Structure 1
């Protein structure tokens, strides 16, 4: 096991007693790499050494987190889930329910991110806040699920972007018949772009994502205005009140709940800023704000876009079965009546999507690095290294590239199976949210003291935590359901299999080796206190 000294933050220029904010001392800049005195204090309390450079500021990390979620783009890309299960009313009201529910989830996570601003995120919070008797094992499992969730997120965001490129080719050449390996090659091209921006251009990432968030906001209006002005619209009564079971469940409420998974994927990853904490200046204050503004801003954009999109879907089945393979592209084509107009709108979304992939890769590499730094993974000594040249965990970036490359081979056998990765990633991340928020709720129920936080839920904390948990448990159940009854081997939701395999492997590895090498972040906190 790594010595505590390996994790300790440098103690120059700052006292290691109670936090600066508690003593009323100013939060001043220590250095470009170390950030502010509050950042140094937080790293010292958690027993971590500052290895990455704090390139992100309040505006740039907000841009980063907004682009990671890209909710209005994501709701268009995943709309087929709700249109098939719930119809347009299911999409509109399902998204709204998800939006409100994730407000409680985000607030709960933001409070923990302020208490312990670390790249580890959920597994670190579980290690600090879970009952001592089980904190080591539970945080270990949460760490593995976090790795699975974020790696899956990288795979699915790249896949969705590749589909748009293939759809553009079909739009301009209707005789083109895409092969599965064509999509795989396009994925690899996007993956290379992600690799370049996460290595050679990593120091420019805050600037790049800051520029892309401008396109994210401007693109919203650029897409929605033509849809408002030019599209044929269906009736308001049908869109807001007519719930439809298009998949044959013979149970509209059940079908609608199954369709919630698509909308949930638009918010899963809302804690992405927390995994970048060690590269954000004044992280304990800035990260919670970025999380809450991302939830609110992206959430509202997404709901307005969902309503607009539904009004433009005059024939649901034609959108679900479009030869373009991407439902919203067919809506763009129907609305503009022009391949050029539809292409412009799609390319704008594609650009945002590609840089969302870049941001997701950055996030999951930091989470992977952090877990390896705490000896939670095989080859931790390699994965837990930070490149002196790039000042980022470059080996973790390599692993993400390799994982997505290997996973892309799945679509050679079944594109339906590949799409189940949405459910796999969503279920994994939801599990990490449930466990970490449960630990915080339990501390509140027991009346145990909490760490100081610059985003304090106060007396409302327990109610917020409980509402978040009820909401998440419902989502978790439906993340494993197939999209249609009587599924075949190809259409079955195999997310539960991948989820189970990872948990079993993590548990077995823990008892064979992990329990001897992994102590959990809380051990470094105690020893460095």
Structure 2
């Protein structure tokens, strides 16, 4: 028998009434303006993930571990698992469209005995994972600028750029400042701006694609692209190398839950947010694959100049080979840089809403301040500023050691993947309970259990390889220390729950109520 959540659609309740009903059921007070509609939130999430741009930026990992053919097949296989995870979370988001996202879902659907602790742990991992994502994207933009300077000014006969770590730190802070300005003073333009950014995202894709196909002096053979595997990392087998190379597509798909954390600012969220998640995955998945194949056909052979570029970015010498032009390469890099800065703006908005939601349930230190929403702007300004300050402080680590900063930033993928695993596992449990999961406006129907189980298996499998270094027998500098940082984060969250959280944390499930 359908409950009122589904009946509301049948009797013709408008979007505002549906959103009000959802907030009442979730036990939350509406504090934000619902400025986002489908196309603006689609632009927000599509450019936040920036898949085709990230495929180019992180291509080094896949080219070293797997090579051309390895990147193609790993991309396809990873996308299947990733898409299953996205649609699984989309269904849950339709049931509970709240900025809390995963930690709220765990609270609502996990084992009653453990839901409060697991929800608290999920919330901390989500907050810290998104915070690491913001620091990582700002640093990536900063190092891309440095990489471009190395790429253009490394001729000994002219001016040579001297690469300094503190330059990267200052550039990271500058990118974070841009994101902060747009998310505070520019709050009114953020929703309409996302439509423009989406146009640039798609237009930039076409421009880069045309440049590489038209200007390329020669194309690689089908044999090279589809059958030539590489194991430059020195792993025991090509298969293992390809699995380690998953980092390229996985990084490129980070953040499918971003729309969820903006749900309380989206009109008709229970329907728009899940469809936005699915649409984002399909659009970016297709664009990323086309860009990957374009790069592999036009980049030329894999040489040390590409596998170990002086700039740190394999796509710069690869695009130069494809176009035969340094100005064209700079143009491609400039497009990517602009779009990655736009991605940073979206990530800051996401982390600030996740921080706000978790603080609203009194889970964070200084929760009252972090959960405060400015009456005039209806923006959690304090959460935005704190997120920026944390990124600035983290960027200072880079002055002493880039490896140490990368260890902190790389915890992003493991932390966020864990927050996908826990709610999906909880929903699988509920499916076996009497009555099953609550009806949703976006439903997987009879395929739900199979899709949930498959996505859970893929996430558990993929997360293992996010802890691998890019090469076998790594040094202390090249070692992937994310497992250490991730373990420290989990221990910190557990200790904080014991000392503080179990006394004050208001688990969302205690506020959820039946609305007649």
CA distance in 2, matches of 1:488, 1:171: 26
The 5-angstrom pairing of residues 420-435 of structure 1 reads 420-421=407-408, 423-435=410-422
Q: Is the 8 A contact 2:295 2:319 kept in 1?
A: no
Instruction: Verify: 1:224 aligned to 2:196, yes or no.
Output: no
Instruction: Verify: 1:442 aligned to 2:429, yes or no.
Output: yes
Q: Secondary structure at the match of 1:358?
A: helix
CA distance in 1, matches of 2:83, 2:409: 21
CA distance in 1, matches of 2:476, 2:6: 58
Q: CA distance change for structure 1 residues 19 and 469 in 2, over 3 Å: closer, same or farther?
A: closer
Corresponding residue for 1:38?
18
User: Which stretch shows the higher mean deviation, 459-468 or 408-417?
Assistant: 408-417
Instruction: Verify: 1:345 aligned to 2:332, yes or no.
Output: yes
Corresponding residue for 1:333?
320
Which of these residues, 124, 145, 152, is aligned with residue 144 of structure 1?
124
CA distance in 2, matches of 1:322, 1:486: 21
User: Which stretch shows the higher mean deviation, 208-217 or 486-495?
Assistant: 486-495
Which of these residues, 279, 282, 296, is aligned with residue 296 of structure 1?
282
CA distance in 2, matches of 1:59, 1:517: 39
Corresponding residue for 2:260?
274
Q: Secondary structure at the match of 1:511?
A: helix
Corresponding residue for 1:26?
12
Instruction: Verify: 1:84 aligned to 2:71, yes or no.
Output: no
CA distance in 2, matches of 1:421, 1:54: 34
Q: Is the 8 A contact 1:56 1:281 kept in 2?
A: yes
Q: Unpaired segments of 5 or more residues in structure 1? A: 1-16, 30-35
Q: Is the 8 A contact 2:349 2:384 kept in 1?
A: yes
Q: Secondary structure at the match of 1:19?
A: helix
Give the aligned CA root-mean-square deviation in angstroms: 1.7
Corresponding residue for 2:370?
383
Corresponding residue for 1:453?
440
User: Which stretch shows the higher mean deviation, 489-498 or 65-74?
Assistant: 489-498
Q: Deviation per CA, 1:18-67, whole angstroms, max 9, x where unpaired?
A: 437347332326xxxxxx10000000000100111111011100111101
Instruction: Verify: 1:257 aligned to 2:243, yes or no.
Output: yes
Instruction: Verify: 1:167 aligned to 2:147, yes or no.
Output: yes
Q: CA distance change for structure 1 residues 229 and 416 in 2, over 3 Å: closer, same or farther?
A: farther
Instruction: Verify: 1:210 aligned to 2:210, yes or no.
Output: no
Which of these residues, 453, 461, 468, is aligned with residue 455 of structure 2?
468
Corresponding residue for 1:176?
161
Corresponding residue for 1:358?
345
TM-score (structure 2 length as normaliser): 0.95
CA distance in 2, matches of 1:288, 1:322: 40
CA distance in 1, matches of 2:297, 2:474: 30
Q: Secondary structure at the match of 1:525?
A: coil
Q: CA distance change for structure 1 residues 313 and 500 in 2, over 3 Å: closer, same or farther?
A: same
Alpha-carbon distance, 1:353 to partner: 0.8
Corresponding residue for 1:9?
none
Corresponding residue for 1:406?
393
CA distance in 2, matches of 1:377, 1:344: 43
Instruction: Verify: 1:57 aligned to 2:44, yes or no.
Output: no
Following TM superposition, where does structure 1 have runs of at least 4 consecutive aligned residues deviating by more than 6 angstroms?
none
CA distance in 2, matches of 1:437, 1:527: 23
Q: CA distance change for structure 1 residues 246 and 421 in 2, over 3 Å: closer, same or farther?
A: farther
Q: Deviation per CA, 1:88-114, whole angstroms, max 9, x where unpaired?
A: 111111111111111110110000110
Alpha-carbon distance, 1:429 to partner: 0.7
CA distance in 1, matches of 2:214, 2:305: 21
Instruction: Verify: 1:102 aligned to 2:102, yes or no.
Output: no
Instruction: Verify: 1:514 aligned to 2:494, yes or no.
Output: no
Which gives a bigger RCO, structure 1 or 2 (Cα 8 Å, sep 6+)?
Answer: 2
Q: Unpaired segments of 5 or more residues in structure 2? A: 155-159
Q: Is the 8 A contact 1:95 1:260 kept in 2?
A: yes
Corresponding residue for 2:157?
none
